[in-house]
Structure 1
Amino acid sequence: MPLRTVLRRLPAITAAVMVGVSLTACGTSGLSLTQNKQRGYALSEDALVQIRPGQSAALVTAVLGSPQATNNFGSESAWYYIGEKVQETAFGMELSKERTVLAVYFDRNNKVLDTERLGVKDGKSFAMDSRRTPSYGQDRSFLDSLLSTF
């Protein structure tokens, strides 16, 4: 094909390639109004099977990673791994689909005593109290504080 013919068809070929590339970018995930997301730890069954009573805290760290929260009250301690699956809409609204808390309990020697897997059904709802603790002093505004320096 002569060069002149190729140059005449170049804008049409370029437009066809651009349309093809833009249509491949519009897959099923691009047109969806919701997205499923994982927050925190994704606790796999393979990892949970490896954690058994009598194992060391170092092995738990190697398998699950460092915990999100720890509890060191008394002679026993606990590590908590929290994971949540949420569905987020295109408008920013979120709906929690599943929440899992894995508690790993240790003895004084940092050996695993027991593990416990908790979900949303195991939790309790409670109302927040809106009362304030009184403070003995003066509640000053910024302007009062500024004027009192003079």
Structure 2
Amino acid sequence: MPLRLAKASVAAAVLAVALAGCTSSTSLVSKRTQGYEIPEAALQQIRVGQSQQLVTLVLGSPQSTNTFGDRTAWYYVETKVNQTAFGLTMVEERTVLAVYFDKNGKVIERAVYGLADGKVVNIETRRTPSFGQDATFIDAILSSI
């Protein structure tokens, strides 16, 4: 009888451990933010006429900048993703804050763009053919001898 009780206890423990690994599917997905976290309070502080130094103080350094003509743009990108336990990453939301400055470094405009405002760009995968032979490192050494 004690052997039978021990077997039942071991079986119950194995079953408990096996069931502990079976959790709901939501625990297999983690939510995280890539890039900047743009708080609403920080957005409210950026106004027309403010200096680049004040924008840096409130938001930090921009992730990307662009200069066209006498205007400069600073971009802050926040991407909220869901990542599965298997490494699959799905973009849930993307927000791009663009702060535009005049030639004097003062804010002239602030714009917030979402995922719907983006455009898909097809990346060209074809290669330009080159004439001749692609030589490996070993081929180059042997051909020089």
Give TM class, smaller chain: 0.7 to 0.9
Taking the aligned partners of 1:53 and 1:71, their CA distance within structure 2 comes to 18
SS at match of 1:32: helix
**Residue 148 of structure 1 corresponds to which residue in structure 2?**
143
Q: 2:127 aligns with which of 116, 132, 142?
A: 132
Write the deviation string for residues 12-69 of structure 1: whole angstroms up to 9, x where unpaired: xxxxxxxxxxxxxxxx9xx821111011111111100100111000000000000000
Taking the aligned partners of 2:104 and 2:131, their CA distance within structure 1 comes to 46
Unmatched runs of 5 consecutive residues or more in structure 1: 1-27
The 4+ residue runs of structure 1 with deviation greater than 4 A are 134-138
Cα gap change, 1:130 to 1:91, in 2 (>3 Å): closer
**Residue 120 of structure 1 corresponds to which residue in structure 2?**
115
Q: Please, what is the CA RMSD of the aligned residues?
A: 1.9
Pairwise CA distance, 1:110? 0.4
Taking the aligned partners of 1:87 and 1:108, their CA distance within structure 2 comes to 40
Q: What is the TM-score of this pair, normalised by structure 2? A: 0.76
User: What are the equivalent positions in structure 2 for 1:1-150 lying under 5 Å apart?
Assistant: 32-134=27-129, 139-150=134-145
Pairwise CA distance, 1:142? 2.2
Write the deviation string for residues 102-127 of structure 1: whole angstroms up to 9, x where unpaired: 11000000000101111110011121
SS at match of 2:142: helix
SS at match of 2:57: helix
Cα gap change, 1:134 to 1:108, in 2 (>3 Å): farther
- Letter of the 2:28 partner, please give it: L
- Letter of the 2:116 partner, please give it: K
SS at match of 1:109: coil
Taking the aligned partners of 2:49 and 2:114, their CA distance within structure 1 comes to 25
SS at match of 2:48: coil
Taking the aligned partners of 1:114 and 1:120, their CA distance within structure 2 comes to 20
**Residue 8 of structure 1 corresponds to which residue in structure 2?**
none
- Letter of the 1:72 partner, please give it: T
Unmatched runs of 5 consecutive residues or more in structure 2: 1-22
